[in-house]
Structure 1
Amino acid sequence: MEVFAVPGLPEVRAGDDIAALIEAQADLQDGDVVCVASTIVSKAEGRAFDLSAFEPSHRARSIARRLEGITGDRKDPRFAQAVLAESEELLMEAPFLLTVTQFGHITVNAGIDRSNVPDGDLLLLPDDPAASARAIRESLSADVAVVVTDTSGRPFRHGQRAVALGWDGMAANRDWRGERDRDGRELGVTVQSVVDELAGAANLVTGEGAGGTPVAVVRDWSFGDHDGHDLLFRDPETDFVRQALRQWSY
């Protein structure tokens, strides 16, 4: 398997054709997996906003005051309002905002970015990353899969890693259940999140910060002869951590 970043991409602006920008810099081949940072997808889809676009509600002001008291740093209630607007549910309001986005991803601050946003104060995640991945894939001339990625923190561990937000052209998971291990025992629970693993591999070569590149290509990787499915985000009924957080207070 080969993983390489796509160099030379320009600063993406609202309305830009991401597929065309990628194909101008990369000779894609059938079977490639193209991993695209959600940052440039959001920029192309016009998801950059100024804080002034978010009039804070009473709840947003209350959240900002509470976080100020905990951290000692000033918190803008307009930012809290942006997080509320982008969230289906707030699992935690303190000591930070842990949210469920409208498309089911659980992350801090609804994934809103405040860095590398030349056209606004805030960059929101794509409305529908799966639809974004589909649109990019359908516009590329090669028969590839597309994964829209983002970085997020992890419970129980320090550091961030890339995960998949949306994908098209492949299943999210390899399902090993029903297959056999080396000793012939049947696997009963193993489901491998390959879109997350590919996102992580891509992030190793794209990098972070000012020197980062937003697109990577995975080549000569095969899904293999496995069943697959797209159940990446746990539903609330079987997500026991989410259920526990609903009962917990800081």
Structure 2
Amino acid sequence: MQIRAVDGIPEIRPGDDLAAAIGREADLDADVLCVASTVVAKATGRYADLADYEPSDRARSIADRIDRADPRFIEAVIQESEEIVLEDPFVLAVTPFGHVGVNAGIDRSNAPGGDILLLPEAPGEHAAALRDSLAAEGFEGGVIVTDTSGRPFRAGQRGVALGWAGLPACRDYRGEHDREGHELEATVEAVVDELSAAANLVMGEADAGRPAATIHGFEFGDHDESDRLFRDRETDFVRQALATFDVDSQR
């Protein structure tokens, strides 16, 4: 399998044709195209200024407990969230499309059109739209909208999928057998996350300026498929535990 960064994509601004910008530079004879959520957000004008947010009492209360937190920024996080899972010592939020991340994924870097850059509103729909547009240029692969995210229990960040189209989210090995003949009962591989993390190695961070990567030679294989990537509340036991976590009692 080969992963190639797409060079030459210009700075994306609101209203730009992102598919055209990628299509001019990418090798469209690829099995998967990974696109950073930042350029999707920029193309759709997801900039905001902190001056536009009037902090609520809850935002001020949370900001008071977090070092150097701006209550206007906290209010933006609240408004971009379906649920706040943890308020202190950082804000962990559930986005409307199911992703759980720090500060609802709001970015304060690489946002030339405002103070902050919000996540795309519907990453799956954007992935499908990009795929449809590039299909006219001969692209037949899948599209993943990626972001970087921290990891529980581990230092550092890695790429994750926010939305995808044209490929399943997961390989479901349940019902298959291992080399000793034992039936697998729980193994479900988050393929779109693994591809996103691999693509992030060549897309880079900070000022790398490579917001897309193509993946060549990927095969899903003869496995059952699943599009269930984000856990719901009923099966997310960590999220349930955080809902009852008392930060003050742990200090």
Superposition TM-score tier, normalisation by shorter sequence? over 0.9
Runs of 4+ in 1 over 3 A off after TM superposition: none
Q: Deviations over 1:134-154 (max 9, x none)?
A: 110110021110000000100
Q: Deviations over 1:7-46 (max 9, x none)?
A: 01000001111111111112311x5200000000000011
SS, match of residue 82 in structure 1: helix
- How far residue 102 of structure 1 moved from its aligned partner, in angstroms, is 0.9
Stretches of structure 1 that go unaligned for 5 or more consecutive residues are none
1:1-250 equivalent positions in 2, closer than 5 A? 1-29=1-29, 32-67=31-66, 71=67, 73=68, 75-140=69-134, 141=137, 142-250=139-247
Q: Deviations over 1:53-104 (max 9, x none)?
A: 211111111111121xxx3x3x211101000000111111100001111111
Counterpart-to-counterpart distance in 2, 1:198 and 1:234: 19
Stretches of structure 2 that go unaligned for 5 or more consecutive residues are none
SS, match of residue 87 in structure 1: coil
Amino acid at match of 1:239: D
Counterpart-to-counterpart distance in 2, 1:100 and 1:27: 35
- How far residue 249 of structure 1 moved from its aligned partner, in angstroms, is 1.7
Amino acid at match of 1:84: I
Amino acid at match of 2:6: V
TM-score, normalized by length of structure 1?
Answer: 0.96
SS, match of residue 51 in structure 2: helix
Counterpart-to-counterpart distance in 2, 1:226 and 1:94: 41
Identity %, equivalent residues: 61
Amino acid at match of 2:189: Q
Aligned residues: 244
Counterpart-to-counterpart distance in 2, 1:66 and 1:186: 49
The answer (yes or no) to whether the contact 2:27–2:214 under 8 Å persists in 1 is: no
Counterpart-to-counterpart distance in 1, 2:242 and 2:193: 24
Single out whichever of 48-57 and 35-44 deviates more from structure 2. 48-57
Amino acid at match of 1:128: A
Amino acid at match of 1:24: R
